[in-house]
């Protein structure tokens, strides 16, 4: 699950997709997570960091994470992952 390489993000949460011209306003949290994802940090590490820093339980974070990934997919910000089935 990778963020597209060319997605531009700013510290204040602004996200621009240069391939489509779409832009989005995220909050500071979104910006931090996007930067981590762009840097190749895996989801487990990102979630562990959030659990350490914020008052949230693991079950709630998992639900929010799923929602976050759905939003990224809808916004066309994720690299397509090809399934190589047998």
- Binders of another protein among 13-52, rule CB under 8 A? 16, 18-21
Cβ-proximal residues to 69 (8 Å cutoff; 6+ apart), any chain:
1, 78
Site mask for another protein (CB under 8 A), range 60-79, x = bound: --------------------
Residue 33 CB, shortest distance to another protein, in Å, is 21
Chain contacts with another protein (rule: CB under 8 A): 6, 8, 16, 18-21
């Amino acid at each position: 699950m990778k963020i597209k390489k060319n997605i531009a993000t700013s510290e204040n949460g602004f996200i621009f997709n240069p391939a489509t011209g779409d832009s989005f306003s995220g909050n500071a949290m979104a910006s931090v997570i996007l930067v981590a994802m762009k840097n190749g940090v895996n989801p487990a590490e990102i979630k562990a960091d959030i659990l350490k820093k914020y008052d949230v339980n693991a079950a709630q974070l998992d639900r929010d994470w799923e929602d976050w990934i759905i939003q990224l997919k809808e916004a066309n910000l994720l690299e397509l992952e090809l399934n190589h089935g047998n």
